[in-house]
Amino acid sequence: MSLFPKVAVVLINRNGYALTEACVQSLLATGYSNQLIIIVDNGSQPKDLDQLTALARRESAVVVAPLGYNAGFTKANNEGIRLGLAQNADFLWVLNNDTEVRADAFTLSLQAFAEHLLDRQRTIVSSIITYADNDNIWCNGLRDMAWFNFPRSVDKGRPAAEVARPGVVLQAAPYSVGCSMFFAREFVAAHGLMDEDFFIYYDDLDYSLGCHNVFIQQPLVRHKVSSTSGNKGSARFTAFQAYLFAKNGIHYYFRRKKISFVEKIIYLGFTNWVFVLLYVRDFGTLRAHLRGLWAGLTGQKTPQFN
């Protein structure tokens, strides 16, 4: 590994220039000299796209890839990953645009691969991710509740200081989280790209299924939770979100993870309705959720959203 491997950071923007610009500035402020920041724009309004273009003119490390429509999380990330590989990136960092990173985030992520001799073909590195407005943990890995297959964030709500360890101490988890996934180009060669039919939700569980998922036990990323959906952290789902969440949950657990018949019954009879109680607030959203369940059970493809 060279002294300063090339890292391509993939950010997705959709009418969120202020968030994206703050994330870019935090990346540049790390001082890491061999970074390429790829902003994939998912059909933003002209004003937002003009601001991104101006940002790329000011910052030589930034490139903008406008898709012209909302391609979703998976397809937009795949486009960014392809562009990063075409620019000979040694590592890719899929990062939410509503995050800001600590000054040593690049250094410690790369140290994890070098010091722990991680298998570059099957490892995804992340870190403790905290809320943006305090030092409590938003995510330190993802796992499923036994039998109920309810994805839960490890250590959620705990003060990061209770968990953090000096140096590059790694904690394994069943899944990585799409908010921050750092991996080598060899991982893409061996594992492929994200399944674009997920569009958004459960894509990170699917992409990290069966991989070596490790979390650096230091808070390297702050997440402005739910800012991109406009909900400012509320649990309310739109019809769009409810449809995809229901459909993708069925697709992931029934076809990809392939849970047992008993677990499928528990999922349909109990876990699914916990999601409804947590996130659904009106009849239209409930109908969208039910349509999503049916789409998942019947194997329908995700329609394109604009």
Domain finish residue from 200, 229, 258: 229
Residue 251 included in any domain: yes
Task: Say whether both 148 and 271 belong to one domain.
Answer: no
Task: Say whether both 272 and 140 belong to one domain.
Answer: no
Task: Say whether both 190 and 286 belong to one domain.
Answer: no
Residue 303 included in any domain: no
Instruction: Considering only CA atoms, give the Rg of the chain.
Output: 19
Task: Say whether both 68 and 217 belong to one domain.
Answer: yes
Per-residue pLDDT, 305: 53
Residue 305 included in any domain: no
Q: Please give the Cα distance from 82 to 154 (Å, whole number).
A: 31
Return the half-sphere exposure (C-beta side, CA atoms, 13 A cut-off) of residue 18. 3
Residue 281 included in any domain: yes
Residue 160 included in any domain: yes
**Crossing angle, helix 239-250 and helix 272-279, to 10 degrees?**
160
Q: Please give the Cα distance from 233 to 132 (Å, whole number).
A: 11
> Considering the entire predicted model, what is its pTM?
0.93
Task: Say whether both 257 and 141 belong to one domain.
Answer: no
Domain finish residue from 229, 253, 277: 229
Return the half-sphere exposure (C-beta side, CA atoms, 13 A cut-off) of residue 198. 26
Task: Say whether both 194 and 74 belong to one domain.
Answer: yes
Return the half-sphere exposure (C-beta side, CA atoms, 13 A cut-off) of residue 15. 10
Task: Say whether both 145 and 40 belong to one domain.
Answer: yes
Residue 82 included in any domain: yes
Per-residue pLDDT, 2: 61
Residue 216, H or E segment:
strand 212-223
- Which two tokens mark 216? 């650096």
Q: Could you tell me which of 190, 129, 139, 137 has the C-alpha nearest to residue 162? A: 137
- Residues 140 and 129: beta-carbon distance below 8 Å: yes
Task: Say whether both 129 and 163 belong to one domain.
Answer: yes
Q: Please give the Cα distance from 17 to 64 (Å, whole number).
A: 12
CATH number at residue 113: 3.90.550.60
Task: Say whether both 213 and 270 belong to one domain.
Answer: no
3 state SS of 295: helix
- Which two tokens mark 222? 């702050």
Domain finish residue from 181, 209, 229: 229
Residue 194 included in any domain: yes
Q: Please give the Cα distance from 243 to 286 (Å, whole number).
A: 9
Domain holding 248, by residue range, is 239-298
Q: Low-confidence residues of the chain, pLDDT below 50? A: 227-233, 306
Residue 234 included in any domain: no
Q: Could you tell me which of 115, 142, 104 has the C-alpha nearest to residue 221? A: 104
Task: Say whether both 139 and 259 belong to one domain.
Answer: no
Question: How many domains does one find in the chain?
Answer: 2
Residue 41, H or E segment:
strand 35-41
Task: Say whether both 270 and 137 belong to one domain.
Answer: no
DSSP 69: S
Residue 182, H or E segment:
strand 180-184
Q: Please give the Cα distance from 112 to 118 (Å, whole number).
A: 7
Q: How many CB atoms lie within 10 A of CB 99?
A: 25
Task: Say whether both 267 and 169 belong to one domain.
Answer: no
